[in-house]
Amino acid sequence: MSNVIELHVPPRRQRLTERAGGLIELFATHRRHPDDVFWLKENAELLGILECTGTKVGVEALLPHQDFYKTLSERLQFFPQYYRFLLSIGMDLEDLGLPGTQMEGLCHWVAHQRLPEAELSDLQRAEARRLLARRGVDCTAADPGLDDRLRGFIARPETFALPNKKAAYELTHIVFYLSEYGRRDPCLDAATLQSLEYVGILAYLDQNVDLLAEVCVALRQAGKAPNAIWVEAVRRSISGFRVIEDPSGTASDDYHEYLVASWAVQVLGLDGTGCPLPQGRAVFQQRIEQPSALRAVSAALLGASKMRSCDWGQMCDYVFDLLDDDAGLVLESTIASTAQFEPFFELFARA
C-alpha cells in the first residue's frame, strides 16, 4: 500500500485562501484574453495550485471562469492541440466547486481521439495520462513503458549536475505527476533524490528561486524535508513581491515565481504573508535582488583549463579567489545548504 502524504493547511496560513478570489479575477480577466495560449498557461497554473493545495474557493470566486467553462467543449474540439491546458482548467474548476460535470465526457473524447498518442515528449504523455486518470479514463495501454522511461530519466544524477533548465523543470514535473501532486508516495529511489539535490544546488547557486521552490515542493511530495537554507530563500522570496497596477498591458513579469513560491509556502507550512492585490490589471514584481554565482563559478572552472580538477578540496581556494564578494557569499551559502556539494562538484567541474 502506498503511503499518502497529507498536505494540511493550518489556519494560521490561510493567506492563499484569502487571496484566491482576487488572483482568480486577476488572471481570468485582467492580464490576457482566453484566446491567448499564455492565458491558458497562466490560469492552468494558478487553478492547479489552488486545487492541489486544497485551497477553499467559493463558487462566487470562480464565476469569472463561468463563460469560459461553458465553451470548453467547443474550444477543445477547435483547439485539440491545447487539450492538456483545457482539461486541466476545466477539471480544476469543477473540483474547486464550479457547478458542472462535463469534464468526464471531455476526457473520454480526448482518449477516443487518441490525442495523448500525438505527444513526442514523455513528460507531456505523463501529464496527459495524469489528467485523464482524474476522471477515471485509463490510457496506460497505449504506452506501457512510460513509467520506466520517466524513472530512468530522473534516476541519472549526472544529467542534473550541469546547468540545464529544461531538464531540471522536467525532473520536478515528473515528480509532481508521479506523486499526483502530493497525494501519493512517488517511491523515488536514492538516485532520483540525488538528482533533486543536484538541481537544488544549481538553483540556489544561480539564485533561481522559481526552480528552487519547485525542488522544495518535489522533495516534500517525496516525503523529504528540504534544507532549511533553501526553504528560507523561498520564504524570503514571497515576502519580496509586490503586485502593482499596470494599465499599459505589459504581461512579462515574475508571475510564475510568485505562484510557485506561494505554492511552496503552503506545502512547506511557512507563514507567508503575501502582498495586497490591486483592482484591475496588474503585474508581479520581485523586489529582492538575487545575484547569481553560477556563471562566475563556471567561468572560473573554464578558465582553469588543464589545471581543472574534480576535487573540490583542490579547487576551492582557486575558485573563491576569482569571485567577487556577492558571488562568494552565495557559493558559501550553497555549500552550507547541502551535504552533497563535493559529489556534485565532481560532476559539475567536468575535469
Per DSSP, the residues of 21-51 read HHHHHHHHHTS--TTSHHHHHHHHHHHHHHH
Q: 289 in helix, strand or coil?
A: coil
pTM of the model: 0.92
Residue of 35, 40, 101, 43 whose CA lies nearest to 70: 101
> For residue 81, what pLDDT is reported?
97
> For residue 334, what pLDDT is reported?
98
- Model confidence at 13, pLDDT cuts 50, 70, 90, reads very low
- Model confidence at 279, pLDDT cuts 50, 70, 90, reads confident
> For residue 12, what pLDDT is reported?
36
Q: Is pLDDT at 96 greater than 50 in this prediction?
A: yes
> For residue 280, what pLDDT is reported?
85
What span, in angstroms and rounded, lies between the C-alpha atoms of 308 and 193? Answer: 28
Q: Is pLDDT at 54 greater than 60 in this prediction?
A: yes
- Model confidence at 111, pLDDT cuts 50, 70, 90, reads very high
What span, in angstroms and rounded, lies between the C-alpha atoms of 203 and 165? Answer: 9
Alpha helices in 161-254 (DSSP H): 165-178, 190-205, 209-221, 228-239
CA distances from 84 to 53, 54, 87, 124, 309 (A): 20, 21, 5, 8, 45
The mean pLDDT of 151-175, rounded to a whole number, is 98
Q: Are 297 and 320 within 8 A, CB to CB?
A: no
Q: 315 in helix, strand or coil?
A: helix
Average the pLDDT over each of 119-133, 147-161, 280-294, 296-310 and give the range with the smallest value: 280-294
> For residue 251, what pLDDT is reported?
62
| Domain ranges across the chain | 11-290, 291-351
What span, in angstroms and rounded, lies between the C-alpha atoms of 203 and 168? Answer: 9
> For residue 18, what pLDDT is reported?
73
Q: What percent of the chain has pLDDT over 90?
A: 82
CB within 8 Å of 205: residues ≥ 6 apart: 292, 293, 294, 297, 330, 331, 334
Angle ∠(113,122,135) on CA atoms, nearest 5: 50
Average pLDDT value over all residues in the chain: 92
The mean pLDDT of 54-70, rounded to a whole number, is 95
> For residue 252, what pLDDT is reported?
78
Asked whether the CA dihedral 344, 349, 350, 351 is positive or negative, the reply is negative
C-alpha cell at 12: 494560521
> For residue 288, what pLDDT is reported?
87
Average the pLDDT over each of 12-16, 135-139, 141-145 and give the range with the smallest value: 12-16
Burial class (CB in 10 A: 0-12, 13-18, 19+), 23: buried
Q: How many CA atoms lie within 13 A of 174 on its CB side?
A: 25
The mean pLDDT of 288-306, rounded to a whole number, is 94
Q: 243 in helix, strand or coil?
A: strand
Q: Is pLDDT at 214 greater than 70 in this prediction?
A: yes
> For residue 219, what pLDDT is reported?
98
The mean pLDDT of 337-348, rounded to a whole number, is 98
Q: Is pLDDT at 294 greater than 90 in this prediction?
A: yes
Q: Is pLDDT at 274 greater than 90 in this prediction?
A: no
Amino acid at 201: I
Residues in the chain: 351
To the nearest 10°, the Cα dihedral for 132, 94, 21, 26? 50
- Model confidence at 2, pLDDT cuts 50, 70, 90, reads very low
What span, in angstroms and rounded, lies between the C-alpha atoms of 94 and 182? Answer: 20
> For residue 55, what pLDDT is reported?
92
- Model confidence at 235, pLDDT cuts 50, 70, 90, reads very high
- Model confidence at 6, pLDDT cuts 50, 70, 90, reads very low
Residue of 274, 283, 269 whose CA lies nearest to 237: 274
What span, in angstroms and rounded, lies between the C-alpha atoms of 17 and 240? Answer: 19
